[in-house]
Amino acid sequence: MSVEVTRLPSGLTVVTDSMPHLQTSSLGVWIGSGSRDEQPNEHGISHLLEHMAFKGTKRRTAREIAEEIEYVGGDINAATSFETTAYFASVLKTDVPLAVDVLSDILSNPTFDPAELIREQNVIVQEIGATEDAPDDLVFDYLQSIAFPNQPMGRSILGTPESVCSFKDQNLRAYLARNYRGPDMVVAATGAVDHAIVVEEVQRRFGNFNGPAAPVPQGATFGGGSKLESRDLEQVHIAVALEGVGQRDPSLYSLQVFASTLGGGMSSRLFQEVRETRGLCYTIQAFHAPYADIGMFGIYAGTDAADVNELMRVVVDETAEAAATITEAEVAKAKAQMKVGLLMALESSGARARQLANQILIHGRPIPLEEIVGKIEAVTVESCRAAGRALIVRGRPAIAALGPGKGLEGAATIVDSLVSRAA
């Protein structure tokens, strides 16, 4: 595979990775702007803008945007996160110019028709309602709000029904003009692509995204505490968070290995003890979500109300124990899993495009496979234990839970004891 990078005069970066064995191409536009870039009166506007980009331009109706890609057998979609918004398509090699044209059109020439805006606001209100009806999703919104209180990182990406329905077309245009600028945009194309052709198409069609970089968003600060909600459900859904590390932190890979060992698979400590030995739940997992300047280490499980306190005691014990006794064999296994996952992602043109775009937005350059593998290999038992110890002593945990029973406060107290268990 061959990675090529061109930075245009506007600051927009074009990165391609030719995968000659493929007949299809994955390409998209990644903007280094997401929900954490919203002002207090803009809650949910990033996600709404992503929706509205597909609802008509000066050249195409909403139907024509979908049809032009689907008539050539491709597909087109978008996604909003805390730190990025992405618009992407998959097509045959011969249709790459068409995909670039459509993607540039929806971002350069959106009409934001008032009737379409009202319809799409209602669609998002339904999406918010669906999340409210899914406790295994809602608990993560609650966790985010406790982990990052009173700041953009702690707000739901979707917004609220009230905030979403308050926006007018001028709000969308102002947000787009402020945040969608060349220095904060990456066009990534992988698979059956020719770098020169992609650069030429992007130069022709993305010329109006210029100006200085967008304002730097508010720095995130980890809070802690609890949000507990009694609901008539079959299970208690409970999630715990500790302050993790950012994308550029030297301990990132050690903490990722720690997360994998603690709760990253069927052989992990939490899965074996909580599910296999004690039968306390069907699903339990640990994860680490790194952002640009901070991270969130989390553990999630769903369990019977009668078992929630025992489950939390096991979570506290296993987390503290792992920080003190993680073994060479466990570290080797987690490192192997990370490397295989990385290689599997490289076999998907879509995953590869997303990876390249994120690397440029975070690090300013593509990161060679050998460099990533080297950082994984550099993780040792001691660096992994140190990452676990630092995680525990960094501050008060955040805990979110919803479900039946009156024992949720007890579970929160048990989780709070984790800091005192640091090895």
Burial class (CB in 10 A: 0-12, 13-18, 19+), 66: middle
Give yes or no for a contact between 116 and 143, defined as CB atoms under 8 angstroms apart: no
**What six digits make up the tokens of 136?**
């295994």
Mind giving me the DSSP string for 46-98? HHHHHHHTTS-BSS--HHHHHHHHHTTT-EEEEEE-SS-EEEEEEEEGGGHHH
Catalytic positions are 50
Give yes or no for a contact between 397 and 415, defined as CB atoms under 8 angstroms apart: yes
Beta strand 295-303 with 281-290 is: antiparallel
E strands within 82-218? 85-92, 185-191
**Alpha carbon distance 379, 331 (integer Å):** 8
Could you give the 3-state DSSP secondary structure of residue 347?
Answer: coil
**Alpha carbon distance 173, 162 (integer Å):** 19
